[in-house]
Each structure stands twice: as structure tokens, then as C-alpha cells.
């Protein structure tokens, strides 16, 4: 079921792009998927991952990441924190739309997951000159929690290993990649 939501205009939304370069971002972002793997599996220090988690869970600042697509479409990854919880929502947006479509959310309603591997693979290349997350490896890792395939092809494992290594993980990342591809934090 596709649902539509509007962001609260009074919410403390900030551009999260700079967080992508912080040590510990990736193990913090995919923490729900990577249970059983320490931040070191990502080439990160546990203290760095904890520091990023604090930033992602800060109720006074809600990081937003934009993944530009062709045709003016964008996937927006939106962290929002209340007093007792933090959720991550994945919206499909377009400037001509009145409301944004929710691809997935890890809130209590667990909406999604919203993409199969062939759909996600097509989204890895950014349109030329688009603002937002352009690096294909960062795009894959950022959108990974939306993946909902029960059995991904070997090309997905290879692409994820390449993305993990490009973002600082050790060369021996296949076990981590396979584990990450099994999880579906936005699904039921």
C-alpha cells in the first residue's frame, strides 16, 4: 500500500549530506540491518558510529538526504526523532506533486520495503549535474534499507561489497554484504 504524507514545515529538518563523510556513518545508518556485525566490519571505530547515531537521533536536528533521480524525481531519506523514538522515512518526491509518496518507513507501522533489486540497481547512477547524493556507492548504502527482495542475485552481493569497500570497509566484506542484503528493517 502506498501512503502519502507531508513533512511538518515546523520540523527541525537539516541537510544531512555532510554526515556521509563522517567516520561511523554507514554502520550507524544500517544498524538495523547489521545486527551481529561491529562497526569495525565497516572500517569504523565504535565510538565514531555511536557519535553519528547520536546525531541521527537528535530530536533538535532531523537530517535529510536527497537522492536525485531522472525526470525531476528525488528519493528523500528523512530521519526524525521524537522524545522516545527515531524513525527513518524514504519518500519519493516530485516538484509537481502536492504530497510525497512513502516508499518505506521503519516507524511502528513498518511501511515497505519499497524496492526490488532491479529497481534499486537502476537508481545507483545519479543524473548529470543533479544536487544531492551522487556517488553510486553512497546511494546504494543509503537506499539499502528500502530493498525488499527475498533472494537477491549475486550481482547485488558484488555491488554491495564494492560499495562497502569504497566507503572504507575491509576487503573481506562479502559476509557483511550478504548479511545486509538479508535484512528488511522497513518491512514486516
134-173 confidence digits (pLDDT tens): 999 999 999 999 998 878 899 999 999 999 999 999 888 8
pLDDT of residue 113: 67
**Global confidence as pTM:** 0.89
Mean pLDDT, all residues of the chain: 87
Give the DSSP H or E segment for 55: helix 46-56
- The answer to whether 53 touches 75, Cβ cutoff 8 Å, is no
pLDDT of residue 106: 79
Domain residue extents for the chain: 3-182
pLDDT of residue 185: 52
- Give the residue from 16, 37, 62 showing the smallest Cα distance to 172: 37
Amino acid at each position: 500500500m502506498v501512503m502519502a504524507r507531508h513533512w511538518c514545515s515546523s520540523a527541525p529538518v537539516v541537510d544531512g549530506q555532510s554526515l556521509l563523510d563522517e567516520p561511523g556513518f554507514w554502520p550507524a545508518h544500517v544498524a538495523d540491518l547489521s545486527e551481529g556485525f561491529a562497526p569495525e566490519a565497516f572500517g569504523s571505530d565504535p565510538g565514531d558510529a555511536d557519535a553519528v547515531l547520536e546525531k541521527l537521533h537528535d530530536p533538535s536536528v532531523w537530517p535529510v538526504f536527497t537522492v536525485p533521480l531522472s525526470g525531476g524525481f528525488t528519493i528523500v531519506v528523512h530521519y526524525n526523532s521524537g522524545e522516545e523514538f527515531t524513525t527513518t522515512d524514504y519518500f519519493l518526491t516530485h516538484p509537481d506533486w502536492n504530497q510525497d509518496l512513502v516508499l518505506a518507513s521503519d516507524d511502528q507501522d513498518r511501511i515497505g520495503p519499497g524496492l526490488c533489486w532491479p529497481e534499486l540497481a537502476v537508481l545507483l547512477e545519479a543524473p548529470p549535474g543533479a544536487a544531492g547524493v551522487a556517488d553510486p556507492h553512497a546511494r546504494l548504502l543509503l537506499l539499502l534499507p528500502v530493498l525488499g527482495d527475498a533472494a537477491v542475485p549475486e550481482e547485488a552481493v558484488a555491488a554491495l561489497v564494492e560499495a562497502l569497500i569504497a566507503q572504507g570497509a575491509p576487503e573481506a566484506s562479502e559476509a557483511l554484504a550478504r548479511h545486509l542484503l538479508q535484512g528488511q528493517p522497513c518491512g514486516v
